[in-house]
Structure 1
């Protein structure tokens, strides 16, 4: 059984130098060294990074998915990588066998497209919102899922060649759903593996100023791009209701509806709705694509 070659992509804006240094050190300590580590600087020159990584400084901020695509294209075109591990720049690999386990899992299952890591804070606790299933009471329950967290995951390069890369136009928010839905629709598997841990600080996504606007806009874009027409109003109605129930800020409310209107009016990229058999598959996995 041949083991896949591992590549790593990390995107940074240069605002977390100590966390990034610790993350790079944890990558270096892995007992299976990656073939390539690509560090993409979103509107940052990366001049302070001394470690032996491939640095790609960008003049503009392309957002998380756009920045990741730059690294993925380099690894794809090199032909030297079979699996890409993507990590948040404020994350940390606390075990030194993560890449070895990733290799073994992909080698055992040729239809495995995505592995989602378990995200835990510095105390080892995993928040419910970090568990990629509706029944999130047990973060240690392993198995096939319909979603994954962007903070720490591994992607099959053959899968990416088939379905394409991240939706760069999303910039921030729900890009994981778009990629996951495309992967499932093409017949690939998504595995949540809780023994693969990315330590990550307990922060709220609402800390980003654009959170509410992009969350609403990208949900509309996701529905327009990937859902069969009868499911679009159902999906959007469910999320309007949930968003209004959870909203605690007038500023956030205005930004959310601004994003929703923007998502309804602006181009969302090419439309390729999932097949109805994929809808049924996701339903059997416990999360139909209306939730």
Structure 2
């Protein structure tokens, strides 16, 4: 068998190993149209190239692709290559410090080996796409790794945290999950000193270190729902609840989760929970959604809506 056909077969073997968690030697031999002995030789060729192919003996044994000490080259089909390239392009504008440069380097490597026909399709996606993103503070990737390991290993974390008043205090927490809302990263954790759940912005953390204190993970709020509630409600002086005569999914399309919370209500309507420091600003924001609305609370929002209505009526009469 020629060297070229052997190389092609080894690459096909790699594709198969990436497709499923495990294969028996007989299954691989049938897929490749070779003998079990040829499969064993091709597996050794992959190992020599740095691919960690693990084998288990006995009935039910077989081959699987495991994690190695270094990252070997990957084989991607057309859809995977396009999805990876587009994702890397989006990641180049990441809020994680250094991640943008790493994404661009990975993208350049992928582009170098991309077939011309796929390169043209990806260029078309780039050319037809713009990214609209507001300013955001960059996050130290080492902080992300520290918190991720602490969540995984259930160990306490200690850090300096800047509050909204500008003061900085040391906090010790039992972390549960990181949540990304908009272009900001948050940590949901139990504050040890306050013995309560809290949300912490990662861009306000400094000097984060893991301790040797392990904790037993127990019942906790849903991290995504908890962070959304904290982001949309806690920072504001005025918390509004407005019943909208509109399908909940339609309102969710217009109101990002980091801005407001949409709750399903009776008769196909929904309740929008949104915070703000100025009731008049909230009245304008709700009116601009374009749906029939009923203010549930607070009374200040109802008064602001009435004042807004009078002003708009006066504007309509002008001239």
Query: Over alpha carbons, which structure has the higher Rg?
Result: 2
* TM-score, length of structure 2 as denominator length: 0.24
TM-score by length of 1: 0.26
Give 1 or 2: higher strand fraction.
2
